[in-house]
Chains A and B, each alone.
Chain A
Amino acid sequence: MIKLLKKYLLKPYWLFVIAILVFTAAQVGGQLTLPNITSNVINVGIMQRGVEGDAQNNPTVKSAVAKAMTSHTKATNSKQMNYILKEGGLMLGVTLLMAVGAIFAGLFCSKATAALARDLREKVFTKVEHFSLREFDKFSTASLIVRSTNDVQQVQQMTFMLFRLGLLAPMMVIVALIMAINKGGELALIFAVIIPLLLLVMGVAIVFVMPLFRSVQEKTDRLNTVAREGLTGVRVIRAFNRQGFQQNRFKTANDTLTDTFMTAMGRVVLMFPIVMFIVSIAQVAAVWFGGHMISAATLNIGNMMAFIQYMMQVLMMLMMFAMILIMYPRAAVSAERILEVLNTEPVILDPNTATKEKAEKELAIAPVSLEFKDVAFSYEGGEEDAVEGVTFKAGTGTTTAIIGSTGSGKSTILNLAERLYDVTEGQILVNGIDVKDHTQYDLHDRIGYIPQKAVLFSGSIADNIRYGKPDATDEEVIEALKTAQAEDFIEELDEGIEAYVAQGGTNFSGGQKQRLAIARALVKKPEIFLFDDSFSALDLQTDANLRAALKPLLKGSLAVIVAQRISTIMDADQIIVLDEGKVVGLGTHKELLASNNVYQEIAKSQLSEEELANA
Chain B
Amino acid sequence: MVGSGEKAADFMGTLKRLLKILSKNYITLIIIALFTVAAVACSISGPKIMEKAINKIQEYVQMQTTFYPMAKQVNTQLNDAEKQLSAQEQQAAAAKPQLDAALKVLEAQQAQINQLPEPQRSAAQAQLDAKMAPLKTKEAGLKELAAARVKMDETNKQLDIVKNGKTDAERIAALRKLAAAIPSSSTGGVAANQAAQIKGAPDAQMLLFAKALALESSPKMDFNYIGMICLGLVVLYLGYALFSGFQQRMTVRITQELVRLLRRQVSEKLDRLPLKFFDGQTHGEILSKLTIDIDLMSTNLQNVMSQSMTSVLMFVGIIIMMFTVNWLLALISCIIVPLALLMTAVIAPRAQRYFGRQQAQLGELNGQIEEDYGGHNIIKAFNREQISIDRFKGTNEIVYDSAWKAQFLASVLYPVIIFAVNLQYVFIVVLGAVFTRPTAYFLGINVGGLTVGALFAFIAYLQQFQQPMQQMAQIANLIQSSMAAAERVFILLDEGEEAPDPVESPVIESPQGAVQVADINFDYDPAVPLIRDWNMMTEPGKMVAIVGPTGAGKTTIVNLLMRFYEVNSGTITVDGVDTSVMKRADVRKMFGMVLQDTWLYSGTIRENIAYGKDDATEEEIVRAADTALADHFIRTLPHGYDTEIQEDAGNLSSGQRQLLTIARAFLADAPILILDEATSSVDTRTEQLIQAAMERLMHGRTSFVIAHRLSTIRNADQILVMNHGRIVESGNHDQLLAADGFYAELYNSQFAGDEDA
Chain A complexes with chain B: yes
Within the complex, the shortest CB–CB distance from B692 to chain A, in Å, comes to 14
Interface check A503, CB cutoff 8 A? yes
Interface check B205, CB cutoff 8 A? yes
What is the bound-complex CA distance between A209 and B26, given in angstroms? 30
CB-CB under 8 A for A99 and B416, given A141-B373, A234-B278, A239-B562 = yes
B residues 551-586 in Cβ contact with A at 8 Å: 551, 558, 562, 564, 584-585
Pick from B82-90, B219-227, B483-491, B694-702 the stretch touching chain A.
B219-227
What is the bound-complex CA distance between A295 and B362, given in angstroms? 63
Chain A residues within an 8 Å CB radius of B369: 125, 145, 148-149
What is the bound-complex CA distance between A251 and B267, given in angstroms? 9
A residues 439-486 in Cβ contact with B at 8 Å: 440-441, 444-445, 447, 449, 451-452, 455, 457-458, 467-468, 470
Within the complex, the shortest CB–CB distance from A101 to chain B, in Å, comes to 8
Residues A447 and B381 in contact, CB atoms below 8 Å apart:
yes
Chain A residues within an 8 Å CB radius of B623: none
What is the bound-complex CA distance between A136 and B372, given in angstroms? 12
Residues A238 and B260 in contact, CB atoms below 8 Å apart:
no
Pick from A86-94, A190-198, A328-336, A377-385 the stretch touching chain B.
A86-94
Residues A98 and B680 in contact, CB atoms below 8 Å apart:
no
A residues 137-190 in Cβ contact with B at 8 Å: 141, 144-145, 148-149, 153, 156, 160, 164
Residues A149 and B366 in contact, CB atoms below 8 Å apart:
yes
Residue of B380, B389, B599, B709 ringed by the most chain A CB atoms within 10 A: B380
What is the bound-complex CA distance between A46 and B754, given in angstroms? 93
A residues 535-558 in Cβ contact with B at 8 Å: 536-537, 539-541, 544
Residues B260 and A46 in contact, CB atoms below 8 Å apart:
no
Chain B residues within an 8 Å CB radius of A524: 382
Shortest Cβ distance from B277 into A: residue: A234
Residues B434 and A444 in contact, CB atoms below 8 Å apart:
no
What is the bound-complex CA distance between A451 and B378, given in angstroms? 8
Interface check A582, CB cutoff 8 A? no
- One of A106, A261, A509 near B412 (C-beta < 8 A): A106
Interface check B316, CB cutoff 8 A? no
CB-CB under 8 A for A115 and B550, given A240-B611, A265-B252 = no
Residues A65 and B50 in contact, CB atoms below 8 Å apart:
no
- One of A92, A149, A274, A408 near B245 (C-beta < 8 A): A274
Interface check B290, CB cutoff 8 A? yes
B residues 670-723 in Cβ contact with A at 8 Å: 680-684, 687, 709-711
Pick from B133-141, B148-156, B398-406 the stretch touching chain A.
B398-406
Within the complex, the shortest CB–CB distance from B159 to chain A, in Å, comes to 18
What is the bound-complex CA distance between A438 and B268, given in angstroms? 61
Chain A residues within an 8 Å CB radius of B362: 149, 153
Interface check B114, CB cutoff 8 A? no
Residues B753 and A449 in contact, CB atoms below 8 Å apart:
no
Residues A236 and B599 in contact, CB atoms below 8 Å apart:
yes
Interface 0/1 of A377-405, CB less than 8 Å to B: 00000000000000000000000000001
Chain A residues within an 8 Å CB radius of B295: 220
CB-CB under 8 A for A164 and B411, given A68-B62, A295-B220, A458-B371 = yes
CB-CB under 8 A for A125 and B418, given A71-B439, A565-B752 = no
Within the complex, the shortest CB–CB distance from A88 to chain B, in Å, comes to 3
Pick from B7-15, B324-332, B472-480, B588-596 the stretch touching chain A.
B588-596
* Chain A interfacial residues counted at CB < 8 A: 171
Interface check B534, CB cutoff 8 A? no
Chain B residues within an 8 Å CB radius of A601: 684
What is the bound-complex CA distance between A255 and B750, given in angstroms? 56
CB-CB under 8 A for A224 and B248, given A109-B411, A301-B57 = no
- One of B253, B383, B430, B680 near A262 (C-beta < 8 A): B253
Pick from A4-12, A277-285, A362-370 the stretch touching chain B.
A277-285
Residues B407 and A231 in contact, CB atoms below 8 Å apart:
no
Residues A243 and B271 in contact, CB atoms below 8 Å apart:
yes
What is the bound-complex CA distance between A136 and B751, given in angstroms? 37
Residues B283 and A503 in contact, CB atoms below 8 Å apart:
no
CB-CB under 8 A for A258 and B591, given A71-B200, A276-B241 = no
Residues B455 and A68 in contact, CB atoms below 8 Å apart:
no
What is the bound-complex CA distance between A232 and B709, given in angstroms? 27
Residues B423 and A95 in contact, CB atoms below 8 Å apart:
yes
Chain B residues within an 8 Å CB radius of A301: 54, 57-58, 61, 452
What is the bound-complex CA distance between A504 and B367, given in angstroms? 10
Pick from B98-106, B161-169, B230-238 the stretch touching chain A.
B230-238
Within the complex, the shortest CB–CB distance from A230 to chain B, in Å, comes to 7
What is the bound-complex CA distance between A77 and B440, given in angstroms? 11
- One of B259, B459, B687 near A258 (C-beta < 8 A): B259
Chain A residues within an 8 Å CB radius of B268: 247
Shortest Cβ distance from B686 into A: residue: A405
What is the bound-complex CA distance between A102 and B408, given in angstroms? 11
Residues B754 and A262 in contact, CB atoms below 8 Å apart:
no
Within the complex, the shortest CB–CB distance from A596 to chain B, in Å, comes to 13
- One of A273, A564, A580 near B244 (C-beta < 8 A): A273
Within the complex, the shortest CB–CB distance from B4 to chain A, in Å, comes to 14
Shortest Cβ distance from B197 into A: residue: A69
Chain A residues within an 8 Å CB radius of B681: 406
Secondary structure of the A contact surface, majority rule: helix
Residues A291 and B53 in contact, CB atoms below 8 Å apart:
yes
Shortest Cβ distance from A85 into B: residue: B430
Give chain B's interface residue range (CB within 8 Å of chain A).
35 or more
What is the bound-complex CA distance between A280 and B43, given in angstroms? 10
Interface check A272, CB cutoff 8 A? yes
CB-CB under 8 A for A235 and B757, given A87-B430, A294-B221 = no
What is the bound-complex CA distance between A242 and B601, given in angstroms? 12
Chain A residues within an 8 Å CB radius of B400: 114-115, 117-118
- One of A288, A607, A611 near B230 (C-beta < 8 A): A288
B residues 412-451 in Cβ contact with A at 8 Å: 412, 414-416, 418-419, 422-423, 425-426, 429-430, 433-434, 436-439, 448
Residues B291 and A231 in contact, CB atoms below 8 Å apart:
no
Residue of B60, B397, B680 ringed by the most chain A CB atoms within 10 A: B680
Chain A residues within an 8 Å CB radius of B425: 34, 91, 95
Chain B residues within an 8 Å CB radius of A565: 750, 752-754
Chain B residues within an 8 Å CB radius of A61: 65-66, 69
Residues B752 and A277 in contact, CB atoms below 8 Å apart:
no
CB-CB under 8 A for A294 and B237, given A88-B429, A467-B378, A605-B711 = no
Chain A residues within an 8 Å CB radius of B157: none
Residues B414 and A102 in contact, CB atoms below 8 Å apart:
yes
Interface check A347, CB cutoff 8 A? no
CB-CB under 8 A for A38 and B57, given A95-B423, A455-B378 = no
CB-CB under 8 A for A254 and B408, given A240-B668, A270-B248 = no
Within the complex, the shortest CB–CB distance from A599 to chain B, in Å, comes to 11
Chain B residues within an 8 Å CB radius of A537: 550, 757
Interface check B198, CB cutoff 8 A? yes
Residues A84 and B433 in contact, CB atoms below 8 Å apart:
yes
Chain A residues within an 8 Å CB radius of B259: 258
Interface 0/1 of B495-518, CB less than 8 Å to A: 000000000000000000000000
Within the complex, the shortest CB–CB distance from B343 to chain A, in Å, comes to 11
Interface check B256, CB cutoff 8 A? yes
Interface check B519, CB cutoff 8 A? no
Within the complex, the shortest CB–CB distance from A134 to chain B, in Å, comes to 12
Residues A407 and B252 in contact, CB atoms below 8 Å apart:
no
What is the bound-complex CA distance between A539 and B552, given in angstroms? 12
List 7 additional A-B contacts (Cβ < 8 Å) besides A71-B201, A580-B683.
Answer: A49-B65, A65-B69, A99-B416, A115-B400, A247-B267, A284-B237, A540-B750
Interface CB pairs A-B, < 8 A, 24:
A45-B436, A46-B436, A46-B455, A64-B66, A88-B433, A91-B425, A99-B415, A107-B408, A107-B411, A109-B407, A117-B400, A122-B396, A125-B372, A125-B392, A229-B647, A250-B263, A255-B260, A262-B252, A290-B57, A291-B53, A301-B58, A455-B375, A564-B757, A605-B709
| Nearest 10 A/B pairs, CB to CB | A106-B411, A102-B415, A88-B430, A269-B248, A114-B404, A110-B407, A110-B408, A99-B419, A449-B381, A277-B241
